[in-house]
Copies of this chain bind each other. A is one copy, B any other.
Amino acid sequence: MEQATRRATIADVARAAGVSKAAVSFAFNTPERLSSDTVARIRDVASGLDYRPDPVARMLAQRRTWTVGILTPQALDVIFSNPYFGEFAAGVATAAEAAGLAVQFISPLHGSLARAVDRASVDGIIAVGLGADHPEIGQIRRSGIPYVLVDSTALPDEPAILVDDETGAHAAAAHLVNLGHRMFLVIGIEPPSAGAAAEPAWVTSRRLRGYRAAAADAGIAIQDDAVVLGPASMEGGIEAFHQAWAAGLRPTAVLAMSDAMAIGALRAARELGLRVPADLSIVGFDDLDVAQYTDPPLTTVHQPNREKGEEAVRLVTDGGPRRNPLEPAQHQFATHLVVRGSTAVVPPVRQEVPDDKA
């Protein structure tokens, strides 16, 4: 992976055009400072030499990289397996392009996120799903690079993108309660590090509070053993549902904290002979594009995945002129329930279903 032949440098162009290096630089960056025919001549010579300014040298001189980094505590291959991330990244990419910024991914290098952060040459870091217990957040803070935390627990004065998890979760559970459901299974997202599980600010904790509040309104308690955790993927959802079923749980409704997991649960339920929504209702979270195309279409809590990405870029690039530096640069998006076909009134009598595990 070496450069083949030595590329023309600014000095080569200057020499060939009989001007100074500065003139060449001007010809490309601020042509209005040069006479138009000088510019033309320089450009001509440059393209003849196949000259292209070295982006790295320019980064060093300008001390800007024109790049934003998306930081994830998980390896990229697991991250990309959840369509949620793709939608978020699409939002980042949109805003980045508008701002003339490149997008780089920062994920653990040889198992070390810290190393990856050190190697990353970016002007801003968008950290998604980084728990407050991750030491890297301190590292980033110290590095002086602007950053924004997404979907994680931030200090009140720290730039962050959040959504109203509790309200969304509450709406989801309330919907099921209204349909007569009383026996719930909650499928939650397991934290990247074991330590974060107990954190009250971890996303799973926040959503769980919303679920429980709505259930409590109807006098129902969601016990801890009706909450099962797994990775936020379809496989994770399948696994979680089967695990709960094997443990003897017989819910009439599932509250999944991610659409990917909800789709997995859908699949697992079908494998067990349960009809959705006749025998089992399922509510997801995220409102992914695919949620419209599952069968049945998924009832889920909407959050603006792409917009979150776009806003993250804005925040990390100083938020533009409208941002008041006195206010904390946090942005919380609203969530709302989208009712589709995966939820229905509770079955009056539970059907007999194949039950080889319990």
Interface mask (A62-82 → B, CB under 8 Å = 1, otherwise 0)? 011111000000011111110
User: For this complex, into which size category does the number of interface residues on chain A fall?
Assistant: 35 or more
A93 to chain B, nearest CB (A): 3
Give the complex CA separation of A85 and B317 in angstroms: 27
A334 at the interface (CB under 8 A from B): no
- Which residues of chain B come closer than 8 Å to A294, judged between CB atoms? 293-295
Contact A104 B60 (CB under 8 A): no
A224 to chain B, nearest CB (A): 29
Specify which of A59, A123, A289 lies most central, judged by the most chain B CB atoms within 10 Å of its CB. A59
Give the residue name and chain of the B residue nearest to A115 (CB): B100
Contact A289 B81 (CB under 8 A): yes
Contact B316 A293 (CB under 8 A): no
- Which residues of chain B come closer than 8 Å to A67, judged between CB atoms? 104
Contact B234 A293 (CB under 8 A): yes
Contact A123 B77 (CB under 8 A): no
Known: A1-B317, A76-B89, A97-B76. A60 touches B55 (CB 8 A): no
A348 to chain B, nearest CB (A): 25
A75 to chain B, nearest CB (A): 7
Interface mask (A94-137 → B, CB under 8 Å = 1, otherwise 0)? 10010010111111111000001011110110000000000000
Contact B107 A55 (CB under 8 A): no
- Which residues of chain B come closer than 8 Å to A263, judged between CB atoms? 290, 293
| Segment with Cβ contacts to B, from A2-10, A176-184, A211-219, A245-253 | A2-10
Q: Which of B90, B104, B110 contacts A102 (CB 8 A)?
A: B104
Known: A81-B90, A97-B76. A293 touches B317 (CB 8 A): no
- Which residues of chain B come closer than 8 Å to A83, judged between CB atoms? 83, 86, 290
